[in-house]
Amino acid sequence: MRQTPVVSALLAECFPTEIPDFHQISASDIAGFVQRQAERITTKSAPTVVTALRSFFRHLLHRGAIETDMAACVPTISTWSLSGVPKFLPAEQIQRVLDSCDRNTAIGKRNYAILLLLARLGLRAGEVVTLTLDDIDWEAGLITVRGKGKRETFRQWYPQFRAEAA
């Protein structure tokens, strides 16, 4: 598979000394890479970075190399004047937020599940708000997500995510 310079740079950053294992790339790896790229490129070339990464992850999903749609984890780089770099929380801060939920109460369990959807699957707040129990296929491990323009996509979670949310 031919790689663009952007994809090659991401893989070199994530796997400097080993053969790439695409399952090990996390949403925070992707967001951090995009943030670092945004700091060094022009606003004119920013959309190319995002497009290349999303295309790469969609290709991996289509080929069966990954099970989760990581293209959804690629943040947009704002290109209007005075725009800032996409914001995200480092993994340690995300874990602290998750740990702050009291999972002994119904509200705490709900909050924890919502935070997992945001942090681990990269869902947007609006996508989480529209979820219903019918959107979850427990057997297949799929969630139907309704995005912008009433577009439906499916997100698959890892087996440990299901146990973690319980």
| Residue 114 exposed, middle or buried by CB count within 10 Å (0-12, 13-18, 19+) | middle
| Amino acid letter, residue 6 | V
pTM for this structure? 0.49
What tens-digit pLDDT sequence spans the chain (166 residues)?
567 889 999 999 888 888 888 888 888 889 889 888 888 887 777 888 889 999 999 999 999 988 888 888 888 876 665 455 556 778 888 899 999 999 999 999 999 999 988 888 888 888 888 898 888 888 877 888 887 766 777 776 655 555 555 5
3.40.630.30, 3.30.9.30, 1.10.443.10, 3.90.1300.10: CATH of 91-165:
1.10.443.10
Q: Structural domain boundaries of the chain?
A: 5-73, 91-165
Whole-number CA gyration radius for the chain: 17
Are 22 and 66 in contact by the 8 Å Cβ rule? The answer is yes
CA atoms of 84 and 78, how far apart (whole Å): 7
